[in-house]
Amino acid sequence: MSRFIPLSIPNFEGNEKKYVNEAMEQGWVSTGGAYIAKLEESMAKFLHTDNVAACQSGTAALHLSLVEAGVKPGDVVLVPPLTFIAAVNPVKYQFATPVFIDCDDSFCMNPFKLEEFCKNECSFDNRVLRYKEAAVKAVVVVHVFGNMADMVSVIDIAKKYNLKVIEDATEALGTYYTEGRLKGKYAGTIGDFGAYSFNGNKIITTGGGGAVTANRSEVVNHLRYLSTQAKDDPHYYIHNEVGYNYRMTNIQAALGVAQMEELPGFIRRKQANYDKYKELFEGFELGKLAGFREGTSSNKWFYSLEINRNKVKASMCEIITGLEKRGVQTRAIWGLINEQIPYKGEITYKLEKAPYYAGRILNFPSSTQIKDEEIKYVAGQIKDVLLGFSI
Ligand SMILES: *Cc1c(COP(=O)(O)O)cnc(C)c1O
């Protein structure tokens, strides 16, 4: 059987071609053009926030956030170990030092350990948190796979220790609280800064691209200014700050405007498909489908199966290869960032859950256009391969 079910592919069933053609016909292909503002407006409306700046990538959005948060060489930024490395690399761009804080069972940052680190390992004088000599300026919280981090706790801790909160919402566009103190608040609009990504595998895509928001509209304007080479004057080349070439192009934005129109439908399909998988994996002993935080509505961007390591000893590589042979593309959760060469020797704080999950989580096909019959096939093949490896 020569079938192939991909992990996560883009879906262009809407106005994508129409809008991109229009941008090209009008000649607005670069960082000017109406689609950029249109995308920013539609995102702001969707996220119930005042202002959003479109930029080149999620990584650029995160970098701009750190710059704006005042992260300088030698400062400390608290970061997660179990996520995509782009969440942490911008800390190095600023010549700052990451300190890795463990995750919890949501795969997102463990707020208790975050607080414990601030309380027990740092000093707090004059509203400045210090780890050894270094000022601890910010915390980067990732909403992993579309699952909301425990923002209620994170916000309180950050307030207490005067930390800027940078939400990496690159995987969580459309995830929001349905209950509690943050009811109605969307991932990325809760902390000081929120970063989104429109890379090809995300819930919507512009090929490559991203967006950044902040809790005050003026701050977003400044982020937009930094993203456009910090140009201060329409006629003369006046630049009062060091800027970046991080602005989104109009072609990307044209794609983005069409994708934003489809986003609510994409989320509904991801949620419905998750429920179908849930039923199929019900009671399966060798793997457990990971859930999403209570009191939130998740975009359910990516699905995860926790492999029962008491019963399945095969390596992730063996499992992935086995499924590949049956036409099912899967992947393992990321390798720990603190174990990657550029980060070896950096400080880690009580990492227990992150290494535990690093060897156990398998992600499997979650594209919006996957068919019911394919979902059944995927679940069946995963079960079969894991059974074949079970002891
Ligand atoms: C995709 C992703 C990024 C980076 O986004 P790009 O647009 O690819 O730069 C950052 N953090 C996480 C968690 C991501 O999944």
Q: Among 7, 57, 59, which residue has the most ligand 1 atoms within 8 Å of its CB, making it the best to mutate?
A: 59
Output the CA torsion 157→160→166→167 (10° steps).
Answer: 30
Write the pLDDT tens digit of every residue in 159-201. 999 999 999 999 999 999 999 999 999 999 999 999 999 999 9
Range 242-270 average pLDDT: 98
Between 233-237, 348-352, 380-384, the lowest mean confidence (pLDDT) is in 233-237
Confidence of residue 1 (pLDDT cuts 50, 70, 90): low
Three-state SS at 326: coil
Terminal CA-to-CA distance of the chain, rounded, Å?
28
Question: 110 is written with which tokens?
Answer: 């463990």
Residue 226 alpha carbon to ligand 1 centre in Å: 20
Q: How far is the CA of 174 from the centre of ligand 1 (A)?
A: 16
- Say if residues 246 and 60 touch (Cβ distance below 8 Å): yes
How far is C-alpha 239 from the geometric centre of its chain's CA atoms?
Answer: 32
Q: Is the pLDDT of residue 2 over 90?
A: no
The atom number, within ligand 1, closest to the CA of 61 reads 9
pTM of the prediction? 0.98
**Mean pLDDT, residues 116-125:** 98
Q: Note the pLDDT of residue 159.
A: 98
Of all atoms in ligand 1, which is nearest to the CA of residue 208?
7
Residue 130: pLDDT over 90:
yes
For 23-82, how does the pLDDT look when each residue is reduced to its tens digit (9 = 90+)?
999 999 999 999 999 999 999 999 999 999 999 999 999 999 999 999 999 999 999 999
Cα–Cα distance, 91 to 89 (Å, whole number): 5
pLDDT at 183: 98
Distance CA 294, CA 102 (A): 21
57 Cα nearest atom in ligand 1: 7
**354 pLDDT more than 80:** yes
- Protein residue closest via CA to atom 6 of ligand 1: 58
Q: Determine whether the shortest distance from the Cβ of 40 to ligand 1 is under 6 A.
A: no
Contacts of the segment 294-297: beta carbons below 8 A, 24+ positions apart: 294/179, 295/177, 295/178, 295/179, 295/180, 296/147, 296/148, 296/175, 296/176, 296/177, 296/178, 296/179, 297/175, 297/176, 297/178
CB distance 368 to ligand 1 below 6 Å: no
In angstroms, what is the span from residue 195 Cα to ligand 1's centroid? 9
Q: How confident is the model at residue 234 (pLDDT cuts 50, 70, 90)?
A: confident
Q: What percent of the chain has pLDDT over 70?
A: 100
- The average pLDDT across 286-314 equals 98
CB atoms within 10 A of CB 32: 12
Average pLDDT over residues 232-242: 94
165 sits in the region (left: phi over 0; alpha: psi -120 to 50; else beta) called: beta
- Residue closest by Cα to atom 5 of ligand 1: 58
Using alpha carbons only, give the angle 172, 173, 178 rounded to the nearest 5 degrees: 80
Mean pLDDT across 117-134: 98
Q: Please name the residues in contact with 206: beta carbons below 8 A apart, sequence gap of 6 or more.
A: 198, 248, 252, 253, 255, 256, 259
Residue 151: its H or E element: helix 151-160
User: What atom in ligand 1 is closest to the CA of residue 202?
Assistant: 1
Q: How far is the CA of 197 from the centre of ligand 1 (A)?
A: 6
The count of C-alpha atoms lying within 13 angstroms of the C-alpha of 226, restricted to the half-sphere facing its C-beta, is: 19
Q: What is the mean pLDDT of the chain?
A: 97
Round to whole Å and give the CA distance between 367 and 289: 17
Predicted confidence band of residue 153 (pLDDT cuts 50, 70, 90): very high
Give the residue, by CA position, lying nearest to ligand 1 atom 11: 87
